[in-house]
Amino acid sequence: MPSEDEATTAALLASVREPERFGAVFDAHHGAIRGYLRHRLGNVDLAEDLAAETFARAFAARARFRDGGGGVRPWLFTIATNLLRDEARRRASGRLLLTRLRRAQPTMLELPEDGDPELRVALRSLRREELDTLLLHVWGELSYAEIATATATRIGTVRSRLHRARAHMSAALKDPTTPPSTRRSHTERTST
């Protein structure tokens, strides 16, 4: 009786002519690939995405598969590991870009001169980290996870920065004549 990997190797080879046979490869190895990626990344959603991409690439390359004696399993883990390397390079380039933007002359990140002048003043009064996070979310339309990747921070940090930026912007736009650092809430004003 053939081993599980021999059976999935046969299914992979047969899937070149009968694509539906690739399902056996997925069923046999998806859990292991996903688990490996989850442990390496520490991020369940990203691990799911990369596991799906692993099998998509394997399916696309199935006609080029050559069994060097190890079967399908090592081949799938090679694809998954290459995707991890790609992800690491993508993250590193995102951090490098952000570092370059932070070191750039202030004019590189200047806000457009058109539009609401009160809004520009309020945005300029934000701390750099909060401004970057807010603009990535609003103008870049990035998710919290994407912002965390782009800024090399945790999602919790992204949430905190967005919360502070929104509170600051709300206060600044309610009373634009008062500098944000000197504003106090109504409760603070009445208790002193």
Tell me: pLDDT of 75 over 90: no
Q: Are 148 and 155 in contact (CB under 8 A)?
A: yes
- Does 101 fall in a domain? no
What's the confidence (pLDDT) of residue 53? 95
Do both 72 and 29 map to the same domain?
Answer: yes
- CA dist 81 and 65 (Å) reads 17
**112 vs 36, higher pLDDT:** 36
102: in domain = no
pTM: 0.50
Domain boundary among 95, 125, 143: 95
- Count other C-beta atoms under 10 Å from residue 6's C-beta: 13
pLDDT value, residue 57: 95
pLDDT at residue number 40: 85
- Overall domain count for the chain: 2
Check whether 114 has a pLDDT greater than 80. Answer: no
Domain at 151, CATH number: 1.10.10.10
Domain containing 22 equals 4-95
